[in-house]
């Protein structure tokens, strides 16, 4: 894939970039390794100062960053501004909390026959981050804010269609004051990822993206015995029980499904409704999906902009066509509008069965599958019936139903009476084919750390303890 900015609203290629030649890739990896050696010795206060400066730049230049996102991948300008603001908040969160998350953790020295025992969290070194285009700032900050605060260096291989955002991120950390080489963008194709990951100077990898990319990066990481964190796709269930506030659920359903023009791994995609409230939900949901405004992503009144690419749109069309061919019914949307740009309308498909691709696969566009079930048991079985396990949503006002849903949904997160959202304060990640490892919160700060056990025996020196205390 060429490295280029192609505006999804017009289909026009606006800028192209040459991939870095191999000697330059090696030079940059070397620079990351050199930078890491001194950066790991910087203090938390200093790192926090730089991270807060990055947040200030993101706030001050929110409009510039947002316009870049909209032009490169088509999200609405309102969503793009919100993404930049969320990134600034995450930088501030880690500037404030990383020292606490990564402080030495005392252990019971007596139980292990030591004078002192504790755990120290130390950075691993340069970490390769392979990131997707759908939240081009946020997905990177989600790794970089905790990763850099922990003392690692970052090497970003961003999606080939968001090169200007990738360069903005490199510039962001440099301007914020992080030492040269601590965060670098590698403008490279996916074919060059293996070479970087096999480089002994690169110590770990994090990937957010699709299953094939995840599988290939994970197998190279396994072969090299390097730690990896994978956040892959999702086809999140959205269960509505008989006790739910149906109008609220329907409103949230449409918002979630069309989030980021329908291109979010944690959008609700499969709407599973208990039959007592199925008619009411269907009517309200379809009405809200129809009411969304599709159009120019630079226009503030637009709810749903174009899909990222021509291929992205035809992938969605193929899934809908396959379902319809096998007997599913389109309740709204379902056909591309005429004209330029890769637009696709909010669509609801009913009667989806296991023979259809849409039942199992992630639809990366504003298309909902709507299912009717008898009761909560059937709803949970259907929610868990596929390979993904990223987020999950359920709507209920019954405490016993709530507990069952919390216990039985096979997902990295369960949101009750709300829709799956990533917050710096909460761990984020999936189970099953949605990946492994966790980002954000305390877990994200420790994801790329050597959890080093320190055991100090009895002796004259160890009596002068400077070890952490409970
Ligand atoms: O696309 C998946 C991640 C979305 C998010 O973190 O909000």
Distance (angstroms) between ligand 1 centre and the Cα of 456 equals 43
pLDDT more than 90, % of the chain: 97
- Please tell us whether the domain made up of 236-385+391-416 is placed in CATH 1.10.260.30: no
- Residue owning tokens 């709204």: 332
Q: Which among 72, 83, 231, 401 is annotated as catalytic?
A: 231
**Closest protein CA for atom 7 of ligand 1:** 422
| DSSP-based helix, strand, coil % in the chain, nearest 5 | 45, 20, 35
The ipTM estimated for the assembled molecules is: 0.96
- C-alpha to C-alpha distance for 185 and 155, rounded to whole angstroms: 6
**Alpha-helical runs (H) found in 7-129:** 22-39, 44-60, 62-73, 77-101
Give the H or E element holding residue 50: helix 44-60
Taking only the tens place, the pLDDT of each residue in 257-290 is: 999 999 999 999 999 999 999 999 999 999 999 9
Taking phi first (over 0 means left), then psi (-120 to 50 degrees means alpha), and beta for anything else, what does residue 2 get?
Answer: beta
Q: Measure 417 CA to ligand 1 centroid, in angstroms.
A: 19
Does the active-site annotation cover 231?
yes
pLDDT tens-digit map of 6-47: 999 999 999 999 999 999 999 999 999 999 999 999 999 999
- Report the alpha-carbon distance of residue 321 to residue 80 in Å, rounded: 31
* Atom number, ligand 1, closest to the C-alpha of residue 139: 6
Answer positive or negative: Cα dihedral of 380, 383, 387, 390.
negative
373 three-class SS: strand
Q: Whose CA is nearest to atom 3 of ligand 1?
A: 265
Average pLDDT for runs of 10 along the chain of length 470 = 95 98 98 98 98 99 98 98 98 98 98 98 98 98 98 98 98 98 98 98 98 97 98 97 98 98 98 98 98 98 98 98 98 97 98 98 98 98 98 98 98 98 98 98 98 94 56
* Environment class of 111 (CB within 10 Å of its CB; exposed 0-12, middle 13-18, buried 19+): exposed
Residues 86 and 429: their CA atoms lie apart, in Å, by 18
What's the predicted TM-score (pTM) here? 0.96
Q: Which residues line ligand 1 (CB under 6 A)?
A: 134-135, 138, 264-266, 422
- The residues spanned by each domain of the chain are 23-233+429-455, 236-385+391-416
Torsion of CA 30, 35, 37, 38, to 10 degrees: 160
Which residue of the set 72, 265, 362, 439 is catalytic? 265
pLDDT in tens, 70-118: 999 999 999 999 999 999 999 999 999 999 999 999 999 999 999 999 9
CA-CA distances (angstroms) from residue 80 to 71, 73, 86, 98?
10, 10, 10, 26
Helix (H) or strand (E) segment spanning residue 311: helix 310-325
Rounded Cα distance between 456 and 117, Å, is 6
Place of tokens 């359903």: 253
Q: Pick the residue whose CA is nearest to atom 6 on ligand 1.
A: 422
Q: Which of 422, 429, 441 to mutate to test the pocket of ligand 1 (most atoms within 8 A of CB)?
A: 422
Ligand 1: nearest atom to the Cα of 266:
2
Rounded distance between C-alpha atoms, residue 172 and residue 187, angstroms: 16
| CATH placement of domain 23-233+429-455 | 3.40.605.10
Mutation test of ligand 1: which of 87, 89, 265 has the most ligand atoms closer than 8 Å to its C-beta? Answer: 265
Tell me phi and psi for residue 146, to 5 degrees.
Answer: -70, -40
* C-alpha 76 – ligand 1 centre gap (Å): 15
Ligand 1 center to residue 272 CA distance, Å?
22
pLDDT at position 469: 52
pLDDT at 1: 74
Cα of 231 from ligand 1 centre, angstroms: 9
Residue 80: CB atoms within 10 A of its CB come to: 29
- Which atom of ligand 1 is the closest one to the Cα of 132? 1
Active site annotation includes 258 = no
The pLDDT of residue 467 is 55
Residue 385 Cα, ligand 1 centroid: separation in angstroms?
22
d(C-alpha 310, C-alpha 82), whole Å: 26
């Amino acid at each position: 894939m060429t490295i280029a900015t192609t505006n999804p609203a017009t289909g026009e290629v606006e800028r192209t970039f040459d991939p870095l030649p191999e000697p330059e890739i090696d030079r940059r990896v070397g620079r990351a390794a050199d930078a890491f050696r001194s950066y790991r010795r910087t203090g938390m206060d200093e790192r926090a100062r730089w991270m807060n400066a990055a947040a200030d730049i993101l706030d001050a230049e929110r409009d510039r960053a947002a316009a870049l996102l909209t032009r490169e991948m088509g999200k609405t300008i309102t969503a793009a501004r919100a993404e930049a603001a969320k990134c600034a908040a995450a930088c501030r969160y880690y500037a404030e909390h990383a020292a606490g998350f990564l402080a030495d953790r005392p252990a019971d020295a007596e139980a292990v026959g030591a004078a002192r025992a504790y755990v120290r969290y130390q950075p691993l070194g340069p970490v390769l981050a392979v990131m997707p285009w759908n939240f081009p700032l946020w997905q990177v900050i989600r790794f970089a804010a905790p990763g850099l605060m922990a003392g690692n260096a970052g090497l970003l291989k961003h999606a080939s269609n968001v090169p200007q955002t990738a360069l903005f991120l490199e510039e962001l950390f440099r301007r914020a004051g992080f030492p040269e080489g601590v965060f670098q963008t590698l403008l490279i194709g996916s074919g060059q990822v293996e070479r970087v990951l096999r480089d002994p100077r690169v110590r770990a990898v994090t990937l957010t993206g699709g299953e094939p990319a995840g599988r290939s990066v994970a197998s190279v990481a396994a072969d090299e015995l390097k730690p990896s964190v994978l956040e892959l796709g999702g086809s999140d269930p959205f269960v509505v029980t008989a006790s739910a506030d149906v109008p609220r659920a329907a409103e949230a359903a449409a918002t979630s499904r069309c989030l980021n023009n329908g291109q979010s791994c944690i959008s609700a995609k499969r709407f599973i409704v208990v039959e007592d409230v199925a008619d009411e939900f269907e009517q309200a949901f379809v009405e809200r999906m129809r009411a969304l405004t599709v159009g120019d992503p630079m226009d503030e009144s637009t709810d749903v902009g174009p899909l990222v690419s021509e291929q992205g749109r035809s992938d969605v069309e193929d899934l809908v066509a396959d379902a319809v061919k096998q007997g599913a019914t389109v309740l709204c949307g379902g056909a591309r509008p005429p004209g330029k740009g890769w637009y696709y309308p909010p669509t609801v498909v009913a009667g989806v069965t296991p023979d259809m691709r849409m039942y199992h696969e992630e639809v990366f566009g504003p298309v909902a599958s709507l299912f009717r079930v008898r009761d909560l048991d059937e709803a949970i079985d259907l929610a868990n019936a596929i390979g993904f396990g990223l987020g999950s949503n359920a709507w209920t006002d019954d405490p016993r139903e709530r507990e069952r849903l919390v216990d039985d949904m096979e997902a990295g997160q369960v949101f009750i009476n709300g829709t799956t959202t990533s917050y710096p304060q909460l761990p984020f990640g999936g189970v099953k084919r949605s990946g492994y490892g966790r980002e954000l919160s305390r877990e994200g700060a420790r994801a790329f750390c050597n959890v080093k056990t320190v055991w100090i025996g009895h002796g004259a020196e160890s009596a002068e303890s400077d070890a952490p205390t409970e």
